[in-house]
């Protein structure tokens, strides 16, 4: 998100990340991810079917632990 000097939301940065494209490929050339590139394991947590694919795009993934949250009323 983009904020002005008063802290008000004024827009969104590209790319917009949403439920169906949350994976490493939309993060681009962020230095944070270069610093962690040597790590091969991931923990994914989410509450929608799209969250299952968040590890897509990882280079040399090792263990990937996927945790799903049930987000409905169950009786």
Looking at residue 24, its pLDDT comes to 62
User: Tokens 């990937």 correspond to what residue?
Assistant: 64
CA distance 58 to 35: 14
Over its C-alpha atoms, the chain yields an Rg (Å, rounded) of: 16
Q: What tens digit of pLDDT does each residue of 21-74 get?
A: 666 666 666 676 677 777 778 888 888 777 777 777 777 778 888 888 886 776
CA distance 49 to 11: 27
Do 22 and 13 touch, CB atoms closer than 8 A?
no
Q: What is the pTM of this model?
A: 0.53
């Amino acid at each position: 998100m983009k904020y002005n000097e008063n802290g008000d939301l004024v827009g969104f940065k590209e790319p917009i990340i949403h439920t169906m494209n949350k994976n490493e490929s939309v993060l681009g050339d962020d230095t944070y991810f270069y610093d962690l590139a040597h790590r091969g394991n991931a923990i994914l947590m989410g509450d929608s079917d799209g969250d299952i694919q968040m590890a897509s795009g990882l280079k040399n993934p090792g263990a990937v632990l996927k945790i799903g949250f049930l987000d409905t009323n169950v009786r």
